[in-house]
Structure 1
């Protein structure tokens, strides 16, 4: 029976989610602070994600972790598949396309209610406003 604990440099490392997050971060040669900066969270959030009794990241944060560390999202989320997939394509939707907080989400939802004909005027007004 193969060993269940593998070194952090193994290409097919598996383990619980906190271990996979730590492994992804180390593969990318990032500190917890560096990963936090790239994902858009505070460093203590990364420490929580990597702790056995800590909190789990949201799916959006896992997408960002996978993207900025170069690991496969499926592996990060489930532990299945290969850790680093050289065949991974660029995501069709960039993480920057999603609302970053509740205010941006509310603005987007309100914008979608504007009739198509009025959207251009609204965008011009909003750009002048900010």
Structure 2
């Protein structure tokens, strides 16, 4: 099985449309279509990592076809729970992070800007901004 077929299989096994996968990975739907096409382009390593994470398949399987396709449920739940327990102690922060993960990229950027503005009002200094009009992941134009 070639990588393009493994990407399609992982997406379908996760019950996702090309559009849903594209949004989760942060690319256009056409990119997912190209990745799944028999002679399509291969995704970057960072996109492959995100694909594996979003579809809950082993990275090695997705890239090479070796090993098991799916993460074991115990490994998946344990790794997520452990990471979140170490990183997030506040229940409100936990809810915020989970809700943030469910919204599209454009909404995430807007939410982040609102949070930065609220923090700046509270502290009296700008937080996380790189200059007027800058957006996370988008270089400021001058």
Q: TM-score per shorter chain, which class?
A: 0.5 to 0.7
* Structure 2, gaps ≥5 residues long: 84-100, 102-124, 133-142
Residue in structure 2 matched with residue 62 of structure 1 by the alignment: 48
Residue in structure 2 matched with residue 19 of structure 1 by the alignment: 5
TM-score between both structures, scaled by the size of structure 1: 0.59
CA shift in 2, pair 1:127/1:39, >3 Å: closer
Equivalence map 1:20-99=2 (5 Å): 20-86=6-72, 87-88=75-76, 89-90=79-80
How many residues in Structure 1 have an aligned counterpart in Structure 2? 87
* Structure 1, gaps ≥5 residues long: 1-14, 97-123
CA shift in 2, pair 1:40/1:127, >3 Å: closer
TM-score between both structures, scaled by the size of structure 2: 0.54
Pairwise CA RMSD of aligned residues? 2.6
Distance in 2 between residues matched to 1:48 and 1:56, nearest whole Å? 8
Distance in 2 between residues matched to 1:126 and 1:83, nearest whole Å? 41
Structure scoring higher RCO (CA < 8 A, sep ≥ 6) equals 1
State the Cα distance separating 1:85 from its structure 2 match. 1.9
